Amino acid sequence: MPAVRDFAAVAEYLPKCQNTHMRECDEIDWQSWELVRGNQRTLLGEQLRRELGDAHQLYEAVERLNVIARDGASDDILVVDPKETLEAYVVHLAWSDGPNEDVSFPSTCSTSKLLLPLTYR
């Protein structure tokens, strides 16, 4: 494993996006993202819980997940699991009424917290 100060090299050791319908997390343009707070954070968290089926990779952690930011240019949200020290997740919400039968939805991508803008860590 590379030294922690070499953040770009760390990304090579982390799992890549689990879903081919979504770009890799290291390709995200963070310029259109903004922090979420209060009611917006609550509403986005409720929608995430509504959409995650029991076979989704984040299902077991769904009650612990915290919504940190959202992309103003898409329906992507940034979530973290407080028990997970290294990874954060980008989830593309579909705004559906319930879980999709396809376990790869909502599309989810994991990235190192070290690669996030400082505002979102």
Q: What is the pLDDT of residues 1-13, one digit of tens each?
A: 444 455 455 445 4
Supply angle C-alpha 118, 78, 84, rounded to 5. Answer: 80
User: Position of tokens 């081919």?
Assistant: 20
Supply angle C-alpha 63, 69, 72, rounded to 5. Answer: 130
Rounded average pLDDT over 38-58: 94
**Separation of alpha carbons 8 and 94, rounded Å:** 30
Structure confidence at residue 111 as a pLDDT band (50, 70, 90): confident
Of 38, 96, 108, nearest to 67 by C-alpha is 38
Q: Is the pTM of this model over 0.85?
A: no
Domain containing 109 equals: 7-120
Has residue 2 been placed in a domain?
no
Q: How many domains does the chain have?
A: 1
Has residue 60 been placed in a domain?
yes
Residue pair 106/93 in contact by the 8 Å Cβ criterion: yes
**Separation of alpha carbons 27 and 18, rounded Å:** 15
Has residue 21 been placed in a domain?
yes
Structure confidence at residue 30 as a pLDDT band (50, 70, 90): confident
Has residue 1 been placed in a domain?
no
Residue-wise pLDDT tens digits, 51-106: 999 989 899 999 999 999 999 888 899 999 999 888 899 999 999 998 888 888 89
Has residue 85 been placed in a domain?
yes
